[in-house]
């Protein structure tokens, strides 16, 4: 569904990604792990169109999306929930959700919000509440729900667990797995909570200094302390 072939990219003159190749099949959950600064977020940014491809090719459903803008990608079904993605504090829950549909027409947004309320009943209850008054976990849920408004085929998630209390982690990762199974959303998840993300993902890529250092089934890494240590050195 999504393929990266020998991707090179970076910021200004600074190259961050060196020949990154990956493929994500329809229906999969794929995780990206690796040390701080390895280039994990940069991979998601180059896929969604936030930064340019220097070299190589990214294709989505067999068509090149190298030159696509973020909006074009959202329209074709690729949505990102960026690292530390926060909600608009002064706006209501409903307004935040509607902003997720800024590329859709009004009646479509309305339908999508009603649908999302079925998936996240808590957000329906809080519909008129100011988002800044939700708890951290609830805000995270709202950010995730907002990313689902444009009905993505593939959702790129950058550290969905960021800032969450340990007791909420299982709930959030369980939720992601459910969304993948029930709504058939393919997911590419960057995550520091390695054990949690390995537990819900089919396959994993590990990134080190802008290169893929490991690629395989998540089960190959679960409980494999030696290998994980090597990947994070
Ligand atoms: N906007 C930017 N401008 C310049 N350099 C950047 C920018 N964003 C990231 N970098 C650099 O690119 C490299 C990779 O950063 P990236 O954010 O992809 O890492 P990461 O693997 O997501 O790390 P973390 O786990 O800390 O989130 C780092 O050296 C970082 O300093
Ligand atoms: Mg990052």
Query: In the numeric block, which tokens belong to residue 208?
Result: 């080190």
Please list, residue by residue across 94-112, b when 16 or more beta carbons sit within 10 angstroms of its beta carbon and e when fewer do: bebbbebbeebeeeebeeb
Q: Which atom of ligand 1 is nearest to the CA of 39?
A: 18
Å from CA of 122 to ligand 1 middle: 34
pTM of the model: 0.94
Model confidence pLDDT, tens digit, residues 135-180: 888 888 899 899 999 999 999 999 998 878 888 888 889 989 999 9
């390895």: which residue's tokens?
Answer: 38
**Cα–Cα distance measured from residue 226 to residue 36, given in angstroms and rounded to the nearest whole number:** 19
pLDDT of residue 171: 84
For residue 38, which ligand has an atom nearest its CA? Answer: 1
pLDDT of residue 209: 96
pLDDT of residue 185: 94
Using an 8 Å Cβ cutoff, are 123 and 137 in contact?
A: no
2-85+151-232 fold: Rossmann fold (3.40.50)
Ligand 1 and 14: CB distance under 6 A:
yes
Give the strand order in the sheet containing 203-208: 78-81, 154-158, 186-190, 29-33, 203-208, 211-217
**Cα–Cα distance measured from residue 180 to residue 80, given in angstroms and rounded to the nearest whole number:** 15
**Cα–Cα distance measured from residue 223 to residue 225, given in angstroms and rounded to the nearest whole number:** 6
Protein residue whose Cα sits closest to atom 5 of ligand 1: 11
Å from CA of 44 to ligand 2 middle: 9
Model confidence pLDDT, tens digit, residues 192-201: 999 999 999 9
pLDDT of residue 164: 80
pLDDT of residue 136: 82
**Cα–Cα distance measured from residue 26 to residue 4, given in angstroms and rounded to the nearest whole number:** 15
Ligand 1 and 161: CB distance under 6 A:
no
Residues (pLDDT < 70) of the chain are: 85
pLDDT of residue 53: 98
Instruction: Return the domain boundaries, the chain.
Output: 2-85+151-232
């Amino acid at each position: 569904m999504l393929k990266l072939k020998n991707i090179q990219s970076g910021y200004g003159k600074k190259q961050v990604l060196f020949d990154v190749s990956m493929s994500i099949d329809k229906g999969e959950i794929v995780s990206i792990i690796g040390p701080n600064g390895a280039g994990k977020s940069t991979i998601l940014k180059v896929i969604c169109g936030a930064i340019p491809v220097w070299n190589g090719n990214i294709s989505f459903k067999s068509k090149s999306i190298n030159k696509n803008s973020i909006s074009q990608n959202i329209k074709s079904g690729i949505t990102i929930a960026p690292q530390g993605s926060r909600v608009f504090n002064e706006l209501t829950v409903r307004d935040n959700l509607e902003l997720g549909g800024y590329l859709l027409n009004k009646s479509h947004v309305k339908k999508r919000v009603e649908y999302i309320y079925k998936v996240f009943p808590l957000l329906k209850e809080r519909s008129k509440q100011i988002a800044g008054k939700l708890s951290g976990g609830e805000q995270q849920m709202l950010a995730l729900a907002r990313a689902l408004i444009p009905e993505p085929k593939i959702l790129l998630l950058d550290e969905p667990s960021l800032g969450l209390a340990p007791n909420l982690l299982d709930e959030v990762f369980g939720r992601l797995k459910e969304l993948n199974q029930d709504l058939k959303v393919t997911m590419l998840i960057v995550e520091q909570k390695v054990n949690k993300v390995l537990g819900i993902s089919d396959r994993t890529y590990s990134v080190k200094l802008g290169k893929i250092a490991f690629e395989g089934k998540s089960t190959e890494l679960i409980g494999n302390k030696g290998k994980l240590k090597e990947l994070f050195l």
